[in-house]
Structure 1
Amino acid sequence: MRFYYLLTFLLFLLITSSCTKDVKQVDIIKEKSLNLQFNEAYTEGLEALDGGDVLYAAKKFNEAESLFPQSDWAPRAALMAAYSYYTQDYYGDAIAELIRFKKVYPFYKQLDYVNYMLAICYYEQIVDEEKDLQSLISSKKYFKIVINEYPESDYTIDAKFKVDYINDILAAKEMYIGRYYLNKKKWIGAINRFKTVIDDYETTIYTEEALHRLVEVYYILGLSVEAEKYAMLLGYNYKSSEWYENSYSIFNKDYEISNKIGKKQKEKNSYILEKFKSLFE
């Protein structure tokens, strides 16, 4: 009887072992098959991209990613899909792919590149600075992510350069609207626009003028304390600026008159000197 039980147990172990091996073999075969399918789809994507068929290329890269999502190459395939759209200016599709990528692969080691590409996709859609405000803002948002979160990235220097350019455009827009309000005597609107330039775009070339315009508006409104405050700020930072000279002349009308007389006198003296020199030529 004991021999019978022992024989039954050994048969059970043999069958179980055989089934386990079969399962392992099936898993290995399946994984090899997935690898092969992934490689085929990825290769087709590269060939299509090289041939200029970017839509088919993106489709094949997406297919490769979905075939073997647990592989190390899956995020690369997803990025190649986004890049395929970008090469032919399908910016909306490229942006959608990159935003999806950030959700699916939040710990990918090259997220600096992903954010930089997102910024570039928005940046290259800027055709008319007067109209493409959302593209400017979105582009700046992702460039700032690169600058703040990846300061050592290869893309940081270019991101800083482009943010400075975007700030110049946004500041120019604020100044244009501020001047319009000033001409229409809409004082509050003008003040808010000029303050925005000072607060948000202080490194741009428009800061000096914005400070002067605030001096001008507050002086017109009779708020001399506020006007003097911004005049002092302008003088402290930009004393050699023509805008400081303009602000100074608002408080000192005699300065404006004497300055004009002085310029005329200099021109007259220069003319006399030239005439004198000509006598000896």
Structure 2
Amino acid sequence: MEPRIIKAIVSPDGSIQRNTPTSVRRVMSSDTAATMKDIFKGVVVSGTGKKAAVDGYWTAGKTGTAWKAREDGPGYTRNYRSSFAGMFPADNPEVVALIVIDEPKKDGFYGGDVAAPAFSALMKRLVNQPGGPIDTVPRRDSDVPRYLAHLKESGTRFDPDEALYGLNIQDAVGIINNAENQVLQIHDLEYRGHVPDKPAGIIEPARRLPRVLGLSIREAMRRLEPHGIEPVVVGSGIVVRQIPEAGKSVKPGSTCLIECRPYASMALSPDGKTVD
């Protein structure tokens, strides 16, 4: 891919113009790529990357475990840097991710023990994210994310409680039946191979955009994440402006521009406005 310096341009009105990557050349033949993909699938199926597996999908990747290089001279320390690089789903990759754990403190130090489980957890979260990057439907119905299904019966609407997002079909149906005394079976649902902008048969509840003024970037992202809001960060430091404003009704998957300034260059008044 052609190197890029600018990822996106954010206008004063909050609109975003993204720069798409440009392909320059193929680095290996399609036959070689297919062979390598099969090898990396084997790493997860029967090798050191078993803990990177995700039920219902093929996962491919490679574990890594290495001593860290010394900073004060030649040679290596006895501190580890562990990793897992993977593609998901393996047959039709939609996400490529590298998980690196610097000096792991729990569950050992091998990449397959500390980094591979983090990759699996991340992919499961993306699979169960409405409007997320994973369009591929799992190999088994019981693993189909709940937002990929709706009732076959014409005119019947399947209204999910937002608290059930992230559950697979089988678990969600069981909870609905217990709570509402219904008899709803998995075969009553039909599945879609992708997620349109407005999924048929599903009402996705709007949410109030939380206030993030005065927070650090990490705190602001942590506050937006449970609402399914994607932050677009401009600057560094603490948040001095957000677009849309706090309290606005937004859909999960929407973006929120958060403009930041360094701590030393500004101050905040009690109402959250900047004082230069």
State TM-score, norm by structure 1.
Answer: 0.22
Whose RCO is larger (CA < 8 A, sep 6+)? 2
Larger radius of gyration: 1
Higher helix share: 1
State TM-score, norm by structure 2.
Answer: 0.22
